[in-house]
Structures are given as structure tokens and as C-alpha cells.
Amino acid sequence: MRDERAAAGRPDVDAEFLRDVLDGLDRPQKALLPKYFYDEEGSRLFDQICELPEYYVTRTELAILRDRAGELDGLVPDGAALVEPGAGSSVKVRILLDAMPSLSACVPLDISGEHLHASAARLAEDYPALDVRPVVGDFTTGIDLPDGLDETPKLLFFPGSTIGNFDPEEAGALLAAMRGVPGVVGLVIGVDLRKDPERLVAAYDDPQGVTAAFNLNLLTRMNRELGTDFDADAFRHEARWNDGDSRIEMHLVSTCEQVVSLDGARFDFAAGESIHTENSHKFSIESFGELAASAGWRSGRAWTDPERLFSVHLLTP
Ligand code: AVI
């Protein structure tokens, strides 16, 4: 009940964010949800991560899409809509739009309204024949579509290996929710592959410190939006490979013993204790195929790059 009381007293506070943070900091392994990375500054830092030499994910996926998107033309009915949950800057979607000129609409969905509207406006300007219908929302709690598209066939696009940021059970539920979108004809999804852990850790702990700034920004965001009193200088970023769960974990590690308060609640940190802020699961083509099948999808094509760093899958219902 404490979250609702607190939110009631402070109408500017996002009650869900507050509840999630109170729950997460109260756990034996303190944890926060990675969706909260993406305020305006977090979205800007994420765009910077995508440009880093160590972060092979974006450029490898872009190369696969550029090579292979032409194969999608003809697989999707004319007049279909392209729906992109978690659209961010909508850069990759342009490759699909260019490859499938018969698409009639594009629906970017994102939690960060300002970022979304700016990139949707750019898309509408560059693709004047396309009906661009941005939706601000959290696709992890449901995929809301704009009115009037119920009957339109839909190709879903979920690039970036964002699916890897969910635990296997949540990922299965999200894939099942996508499978349940009315009129869905396919899903093009980017999936990062298992590889040398050293390479993975470097991708999530770059020497320029951009990923560290992205992780630490969560503390600044909580201070600003929820009134926590985190000292961001007393935490450091850490990326760990967890082989058993096949995932990179990001943590914010307390560099000293300290107490953080949030609306009357106090959270003790021992020196070295961490807040687990993100998982990024890595798959094989087969393990992802099994996950997709458990959610009712059939595997179609799976494309990779020559180094087999990343994969893009076309799934059909
Ligand atoms: C958005 N997501 C797929 C990124 C990833 O690779 O897991 C988020 C990220 N975290 C640190 N660097 C990038």
C-alpha cells in the first residue's frame, strides 16, 4: 500500500515506477527493471551505445537486414502494416520499409513519448505515402494498436535482441502476445547469439564508459522522478557473464556501505552489494527456435552474419 499512499501524496510520481522500485530494492538481490533505462537521457545514451565499436549488435543486425530484407518482399500481403514494439529511433525499420514498398502503414510503439514522436515525425516526412501511427505505451504489458487497423495484415518487427532482455518465461509470454495480435502474418526478430564471453563483456562494458553512464543514469532518473537520494558516484557499473543462464548481467555495485531512502523507506547497501539492472540473454539458433515454438510460432528463415555473431529470424503464425 505504501506506493499508492506515496503516489497519492505526490501526483507527479509515476505510481508503477515507484512500486517497481520499492519492490526491486526490497529483494535479497536488489533488482530494477531495464525498461526504466529509457528516459530521454537513457534513450540518447542507448543510441550512443549502438555506435560503439565494441557493441557489435546494432551494426551486425543492420548488415544482415540490408543483405536480406529483399527476401521479405512478396511474403507479406500488399497493404500490410509494419508494427515495431520498442521502436526507439526507428532506424532499422527503414530498411524494411525500403524493401517492402507495398506496406501501407507503420506503427512504432515506444515507452519514451518524446523520442517516439520525434522519430515518427521524421519517418512520416521521409515516407509520405505511409500512414505513420505512433503509439506511446509499454509493450511489455500489452500491444495496443491504433484504431482502424484491426483488419489490416500485420508484420511485427522486433529487432535489437530486445527479446534477450526478458527472462525465458517472460520472453515466451511476450512472443505469445505478439502471436496473438489480430491479423499478424509474421514476426521479424533480431536475436543475439552466444559467443566468447570476453567479447560479450567488452560489448557491455566499453572503455569509453557509455554503457556505464547508461546504467548509472537509472540512479539519476530515480532521484529526479521518485526522490531517492542515490549518490551516483558511490556506485560503479559492472557487466558479468552468467554461463548457466546464458546471459550478460548488468549490475550497479555499491562502492561503500550506505543507506538510500525512498519516501520514508530505507535500503541498506553493504560495500560490494549490487543492484541487478539488466539481463541480456544470448541464444543459439536452435534454442531461440524452441522458445519461439513454445509461443506458437513456426520458424521460417534464420539469417546470420559470417562470424555468426547475431541472427535475424522470420517467424510465421
Ligand atoms: C536493448 N537491449 C537489447 C540492449 C542489450 O544489448 O541487451 C540494451 C543494452 N544494455 C547495455 N547495452 C545495451
Query: Which regions in the chain score pLDDT beneath 50?
Result: 1-8
Query: Which residues, other chains included, contact 12 with Cβ-Cβ below 8 Å and sequence gap of 6+?
Result: none
Ligand 1 geometric centre to CA of 251 (Å): 13
How much is the pLDDT for 112? 76
Task: State phi, psi for 225 to the nearest 5 degrees.
Answer: -90, -25
268: three-class secondary structure by DSSP: strand
Ligand 1 atom at shortest distance from the alpha carbon of 214: 11
pLDDT at 114: 79
Distance 8 CA to ligand 1 centre (A): 33
Protein residue closest via CA to atom 5 of ligand 1: 280
Q: Going edge to edge, which strands form the sheet with 274-281? A: 235-242, 247-254, 274-281
Nearest CA to ligand 1 atom 11: 204
Contact 107, 133 (CB under 8 A): yes
Q: Whose CA is nearest to atom 7 of ligand 1?
A: 280
Q: What is the pLDDT of residues 110-134, one digit of tens each?
A: 877 777 899 899 999 999 999 999 9
For a mutational test of ligand 1's pocket, the pick from 47, 57, 199, i.e. the residue with the most ligand atoms closer than 8 A to its C-beta, is: 57
Sign of CA dihedral 45, 47, 53, 58: positive
Which of 47, 51, 162, 205 is the pocket-test mutation for ligand 1 (most atoms within 8 Å of CB)?
A: 162
Pocket-testing residue among 158, 251, 278, ligand 1, by greatest number of atoms within 8 A of Cβ: 278
Total residues belonging to the chain: 317
For ligand 1, atom 12, name the residue with the nearest CA. Answer: 204
Interface confidence (ipTM) of the complex: 0.99
Residue 113 cell numbers, joined: 513519448
Give residue 123 CA to ligand 1 midpoint distance, Å.
Answer: 23
What is the position in ligand 1's atom list of the atom closest to the CA of 161?
A: 3
Atom of ligand 1 nearest to the CA of 86: 1
What are the tens digits of pLDDT across the range 179-204?
A: 999 999 999 999 999 999 999 999 99
Confidence (pLDDT) at 11: 64
Ligand 1 midpoint to CA 57 (Å):
9
Q: Which atom of ligand 1 is nearest to the CA of 203?
A: 12
Do the Cβ atoms of 58 and 160 come closer than 8 Å? yes
pTM (whole model) above 0.90: yes
Burial level of 22, CB count in 10 A (0-12/13-18/19+)? middle
| Ligand 1 cavity residues, CB under 6 Å | 49, 57, 160-162, 164-165, 204, 211, 278, 280
Number of Cα atoms under 13 Å in the Cβ half of residue 82: 32
Distance 162 CA to ligand 1 centre (A): 7
Best residue among 45, 47, 54, 165 to mutate for probing ligand 1's pocket (most ligand atoms within 8 Å of CB) is 165
What does residue 237 show for φ and ψ, rounded to 5 degrees?
-80, 140
Q: Going by CA atoms, what residue is nearest to atom 2 of ligand 1?
A: 162
